[in-house]
Amino acid sequence: MTTAALIEELKTLVEPGKVLTDADSLATYGKDWTKHFAPAPCAIVFPKSTEQVQAIVRWANQHRVALVPSGGRTGLSAAAVAANGEVVVSFDYMNQILEFNEFDRTAVCQPGVITQQLQDFAEDKGLYYPVDFASAGSSQIGGNIGTNAGGIKVIRYGMTRNWVAGLKVVTGTGELLELNKDLIKNATGYDLRQLFIGAEGTLGFVVEATMRLDRAPRNLTAMVLGTPDFDSIMPVLHAFQGKLDLTAFEFFSDRCLDKILDRGDVPAPFETRTPFYALLEFEATTEEVAEAALATFEHCVEQGWVLDGVMSQSEQQLQNLWKLREYISETISHFTPYKNDISVTVSKVPAFLADIDSLVNSNYPDFEVLWYGHIGDGNLHLNILKPDALSKDEFFAKCATVNKWVFEVVQKYNGSISAEHGVGMTKRDYLGYSRSAAEIGYMKAIKAVFDPAGIMNPGKIFPL
């Protein structure tokens, strides 16, 4: 069958107008936020029901057509990029919150529900959906599940995985499975729900997700603390963790602050400039908690770990302090950064960072290197900015060489080459630095069970 005939057949499976093939749509829906690969899908299909998703998957099996799931397209590892003539399956029209259970504190979501839509829904019910990150306004729940998204509250609430009570999935054969049935306790063998979380659409498509909600936090309060060097951040974390239940502990370098202040719309936290900054957050539920925070701050100053600091006194100040950290990724995106999203256990962070830092400084003497991330989770975002004079391809090629050495260090520290952005296409060639050959063998075998025809997001996680 020709591609044109295939697309005509595809059109019969969904509502009129729900298959697009115009150049603009192919370019838009064929990519995510990465800039490494040129989008080249053959069509975009928008199912409106589980039955339509099943029909699309069965059709793809019959004709051996590769399918790429697409959510809010905010991914940073090219897991939702269609660069090889695939059909993109967009969940934009499966975007309803179908049910709310007050007693179980759960919301049943279609995959295209925007993260913020769920956060706002929870707030309306006096509850809280705690997985949060800068792209919450566009990312979708299905995509969050596909990458097991993390973000800025992981230190307290964990990753997306912790909030998925149950899943309905369409496997690579078109079969519908109902996984875990929203139970808290369920000791009946393999938990297939967990396999689909973080699978990047390589096993099947999530068509419904029951998400857990939590009690709303009370009087969230943030502090930004300036430190004289990177080594001071970890004792600061340790000191605050000993006294408070932190809801976040993030960090960024002074170079990141430079970029944020250049925007002109975010105020500096305080006048002093220091090499690094920690941003921490807690629930100031009582006077004692706020006093403990201030006493810990003073202790850190006495120890020489902190040079200056500020504590939010209002919701507006809280928001402004968070902008210093949350706006970094978007603010530097026009520099076409080469991104790393690496992690180690928290105790190994100082030695690990020192090793990586010296590697990066000796190999990228002419490049601007920005450090920020979720240091309380052992997760560092290393962004290398492209100099104007270099072409994108030359720059990425140079970075890829050094990257191997970065990943050797990650491997030495038993770390992860992708803490929260997923593997997709940008990290697939490096999977062996985090997973053993035997483990990868089992992973591929699992894929073959759920997707025997190899049509589900091929070339993601593992090379083609």
In the complex, minimum distance from the CB of residue 260 to ligand 2HG, in angstroms, rounded to a whole number? 12
- Position with the least CB separation from ligand 2HG: 329
User: How far is 318 from 285, CA to CA, in rounded Å?
Assistant: 15
Q: What CA dihedral angle connects 403, 404, 406 and 411, to 10 degrees?
A: 140
Nearer to ligand 2HG, 133 or 396 (CB): 133
In the complex, minimum distance from the CB of residue 115 to ligand 2HG, in angstroms, rounded to a whole number? 13
The structure tokens listed for 406 are 């970065």
Nearer to ligand 2HG, 45 or 382 (CB): 382
Please say whether the beta carbons of 95 and 164 come within 8 A: no
Reported as half-sphere exposure (CB side, CA atoms, 13 A), residue 271 has a value of 0
In the complex, minimum distance from the CB of residue 381 to ligand 2HG, in angstroms, rounded to a whole number? 4
Binding of ligand 2HG by 339 (CB under 6 A): yes
Nearer to ligand 2HG, 110 or 329 (CB): 329
Residues 18-57 that bind ligand 2HG (CB under 6 A): none
Alpha carbon of 149 to those of 85, 337, 452: distances in Å? 27, 20, 27
In the complex, minimum distance from the CB of residue 330 to ligand 2HG, in angstroms, rounded to a whole number? 8
Nearer to ligand 2HG, 157 or 305 (CB): 157
> 10 Å Cβ neighbour count for 104?
14
Q: How many residues bind ligand 2HG (CB under 6 A)?
A: 7
Residues 117-156 that bind ligand 2HG (CB under 6 A): 133-134
Binding of ligand 2HG by 110 (CB under 6 A): no
In the complex, minimum distance from the CB of residue 149 to ligand 2HG, in angstroms, rounded to a whole number? 9
Q: Which residues lie below 8 Å from residue 266, measured CB to CB, with a gap of 6+?
A: 260, 320, 323, 324, 327
Nearer to ligand 2HG, 114 or 260 (CB): 260
In the complex, minimum distance from the CB of residue 340 to ligand 2HG, in angstroms, rounded to a whole number? 8
In the complex, minimum distance from the CB of residue 321 to ligand 2HG, in angstroms, rounded to a whole number? 15
Encode burial over 405-438: b for 16+ CB neighbours within 10 A, e otherwise. Answer: ebbebbeebebbbbbbbbbbbbbbebbebbbeee
Reported as half-sphere exposure (CB side, CA atoms, 13 A), residue 109 has a value of 32
In the complex, minimum distance from the CB of residue 11 to ligand 2HG, in angstroms, rounded to a whole number? 37
In the complex, minimum distance from the CB of residue 133 to ligand 2HG, in angstroms, rounded to a whole number? 6
Nearer to ligand 2HG, 180 or 331 (CB): 331
CA 335 to chain centroid:
20
Nearer to ligand 2HG, 133 or 282 (CB): 133
Nearer to ligand 2HG, 33 or 59 (CB): 33
Binding of ligand 2HG by 73 (CB under 6 A): no
Please say whether the beta carbons of 329 and 341 come within 8 A: no
Burial environment of residue 161 by CB neighbours within 10 A (0 to 12, 13 to 18, 19 or more): middle
Please say whether the beta carbons of 214 and 127 come within 8 A: yes
Encode burial over 260-289: b for 16+ CB neighbours within 10 A, e otherwise. Answer: beeeeebeebeeeebebbbbbbbbbeeeeb
Nearer to ligand 2HG, 90 or 379 (CB): 379
Encode burial over 219-255: b for 16+ CB neighbours within 10 A, e otherwise. Answer: ebbbbbbbbeebebbbbbbebbbeebebbbbbbbbeb
Nearer to ligand 2HG, 6 or 134 (CB): 134
Q: Mask of contacts with ligand 2HG, 442-461, x by CB under 6 A?
A: --------------------
| The binder of ligand 2HG chosen from 329, 336, 343, 426 (CB under 6 A) | 329
User: How far is 217 from 129, CA to CA, in rounded Å?
Assistant: 10
Residues 376-405 that bind ligand 2HG (CB under 6 A): 381, 383
In the complex, minimum distance from the CB of residue 333 to ligand 2HG, in angstroms, rounded to a whole number? 8
In the complex, minimum distance from the CB of residue 243 to ligand 2HG, in angstroms, rounded to a whole number? 25
Longest dimension (CA), the chain: 74
Nearer to ligand 2HG, 76 or 223 (CB): 76
- Residues lying near ligand 2HG in the complex (CB under 6 A): 133-134, 328-329, 339, 381, 383
